[in-house]
Structure 1
């Protein structure tokens, strides 16, 4: 069976925290091995694994020994509890958990504590013992708590949570989808809902049975830093870290700007997202083509050379670097085809794994591992992955 990234994330997070709590030396060992890196004030960032990019805080006793790990889930707690609904318990154990999920958006908003609204108020300043309004400067404010969420301009339009999310309700009824999770992050500055696409993608059914579950996530923001958007992703959003991973690994995205008339695009978004099931079937068909296509070792080497061409006038150091990369990819491919067969699918998995976890970077100011984590979060390698997929698909056909 394939790997569910959400289960893998939960398992790795749990074992990670337990291991560090059991022995402080194990924690230091992870730093020495480049698995985590300090970022100041007893805070650390994970550099490898399913939760690459995650941050957490370490608490120490008076003797300096680690006694508690606090993962940074980022959930809003303005109303006194974690603003989260989920159908599956998250690694942090917070929020309202409804096994099997629910199907009504109003219930989702209430359980996730995101049924509040936002207003736009003018920015005021003191002058001669009075208050004046700053022209074209506003602040977005939560109506339930009065908390300021962000500074915006006059053209910025507030999108209420229910208005942005309710357009997905039709997909719930039409395709028997289930609301998987909903939450608010960073005091309500960002709000999310996710639903599971009913039919998973299965690669090589009856053979490898590599299963991929996809989710639709709708994201609303209230701080003026980003547009509202919907994405198709393998991640179920249940904290600040899975939010980053969901947007990083999105395979489709759609968005609207917070401007007057922006919400008129919701009908087009509904139509576009309604095509997601067709997209999933198309993606499944392509991956199955790769599974059935034999790929010789020489063909794999040619793919590597096309992805990382070496200039004719490259110096000796560059050629040595390229040869080392070539040899590493060769070894990874040989390992993959022991499990997946000598196929185009094994080649694609090799390229993806190399780009995500092995490829060297040449950072200007960050450590190599930290630069790799930043590159992964920014999707720097997406073009290479897409190019490899297209070339392997052409080979398969």
Structure 2
């Protein structure tokens, strides 16, 4: 299969690939391990501590102390998933799932990852890591070529392979545009376009490399559709007043909200307005594309969080964060 990932137009000299803030990390870099020097997916998994987990099901039982002594009670509906910690060699708890849950070892995706690297012409794997105490894992692959937006802003494309060990999500391969200038991850959906291929965790499910390879063309087509939508946004002027209307739609606040909620909302509006004209928007100011990047930058790098790891985890896993980015994208591309 031959698929072109190179944008149709040439990137202009004003389309920066360097970062406005070099110390700022993407969520992938914050939570993962750089494995760019790995020769294969298996090597990358070893380097990131994701190999040899030997995830297995363990029967669940409970005990009750009654007047007749201790009674053992079996749970016929659920099992524990446990794995072997590669650093200590000790078993550790992962999650509780149904008995029909299909376990996908981290190595199960290695052949697929190697195939994705080879098919796309990528240099190799970027980051690999585990989040939520191992319940979810990810591997990123930076695709060759650079997407431009109207010749003034540069975006990279990443294939991201997600796996879960808690039943929360399917095994997924996603294509995610990434803006290196501000380290924004722009994982949104576009109507009638395919941005993700998934495999459910069932007892009979398997990671079919050939089946996913057949769908790569659909994933790559998404990147061209995203480029077209981004160009429409960057050519559509937007006032600060219109930007504040967007904020009210993305983060609605009830009229009878508590003083605390109102105060948080006011501070969020102030921060978003600061980002609207910040250094990260300096060459794209005053249009809908800048508004979309501002919303993404706030969620990825400024939204209130206990620490950087908590915020980065939200970026990768939170349906609420994803919904806010999606709402902004849908409103700005309407």
What residue is the counterpart of 1:279 in the other structure? 222
Instruction: Please tell me the root mean square deviation across aligned C-alpha atoms, in Å.
Output: 5.1
Secondary structure of 2:103's counterpart equals coil
Bigger relative contact order, structure 1 or 2 (CA pairs below 8 A, ≥6 apart): 2
1:200 to 132, 146, 149: 146
CA contact (8 A) 1:4 1:213 kept: no
Indicate the SS of the match to 2:23: helix
Quote the offset at 1:216 in angstroms. Answer: 1.6
- Distance in 2 separating the partners of 1:142 and 1:276: 32
Give, in whole Å, the separation in 2 of the partners of 1:346 and 1:220.
32
CA distance in 2, matches of 1:326, 1:134: 49
* Residue equivalent to 2:23: 11
Q: State the distance in 2 between where 1:120 and 1:263 align.
A: 17
Q: Which whole-Å CA distance do the structure 2 matches of 1:351 and 1:187 have between them?
A: 28
Structure 1 position 382, deviation (Å):
4.8
- CA gap of 1:155–1:12, structure 2 versus 1, over 3 A, is same
State the partner residue of 1:119. Answer: 56
Q: How far apart in 2 are the matches of 1:192 and 1:369? A: 22
Give the conservation status (yes or no) of the 8 Å contact 2:35–2:47: no
Residues 140/176 of structure 1: CA separation in 2 closer, same or farther (3 Å cut): same
Verify the 8 A CA contact 2:157 2:177 in the aligned structure 1.
yes
For these two proteins, the number of residue pairs brought into alignment is: 286
- Between the aligned partners of 2:248 and 2:203, the Cα distance in structure 1 is 46
State the distance in 2 between where 1:186 and 1:384 align: 22
* CA distance in structure 2 between the aligned counterparts of 1:185 and 1:325, rounded to whole angstroms: 27
Answer whether contact 1:301 1:330 (CA < 8 A) is retained. Answer: no
Question: Does the 8 Å CA contact 1:118/1:160 hold for their aligned counterparts?
Answer: yes
Query: 1:48-67 CA deviation, whole Å, 9 max, x = no partner?
Result: xx77xx8xxxxxxxxxxxxx
Matched with 1:211 is 154
**Inter-partner Cα distance in structure 2 for 1:159 and 1:272:** 20
> Residue 157 and residue 202 in structure 1: after superposition, are their counterparts in 2 closer, same or farther (change >3 A)?
same
> Following the alignment from structure 2 to structure 1, what is the Cα–Cα distance between the partners of residues 176 and 187?
4
Shift of 1:283: 1.5
Given the superposition, is the C-alpha separation of residues 274 and 110 from structure 1 closer, same or farther in structure 2, using an over 3 Å criterion? farther
Q: Contact 2:138–2:160 (CA<8 Å) still a contact in 1?
A: yes
> Is it true that 1:107 corresponds to 2:43 in the alignment?
yes
CA distance in 1, matches of 2:147, 2:305: 32
Give the whole-Å Cα distance in 2 for the aligned partners of 1:325 and 1:138. 43
Counterpart position of 1:39: none
TM-score (norm 1): 0.53
* Bigger Rg, structure 1 or 2: 1
Name the SS of the counterpart of 1:106 in structure 2.
helix
Moved more, 147-156 or 186-195: 186-195
Q: Residue 172 of structure 1 corresponds to which residue in structure 2?
A: 117
Instruction: Show structure 2 runs of 5+ residues with no match.
Output: 1-14, 189-194, 250-254
Post-superposition offset of 1:344 = 3.9
1:176 CA displacement:
0.9
1:1-397 map, 5 Å: 1-2=15-16, 8=21, 11-12=23-24, 84=33, 86-87=35-36, 98=37, 102=39, 104-116=40-52, 117-123=54-60, 134-142=75-83, 145=89, 147-150=91-94, 151-177=96-122, 178-184=124-130, 188-205=134-151, 208=152, 210-224=153-167, 226-233=169-176, 250-251=187-188, 252-263=195-206, 268-293=211-236, 295=237, 297=239, 301-302=241-242, 304-305=244-245, 308=248, 339-340=283-284, 342-350=286-294, 352=296, 377=315, 378=318, 380=320, 382-383=322-323, 385-393=325-333
Gaps of 5+ in 1: 14-49, 55-72, 76-83, 88-97, 236-244, 360-367
Deviation, structure 1 residue 331? 7.9
The answer to whether the 8 Å contact 2:60/2:74 transfers is: yes
Aligned equivalents of 2:108, 2:324: Cα separation in 1: 37
Q: Deviations over 1:203-238 (max 9, x none)?
A: 233xx2x22223222222334554433333367xxx
When residues 153 and 323 of structure 1 are mapped into structure 2, their CA distance, relative to the original with a 3 A threshold, is closer
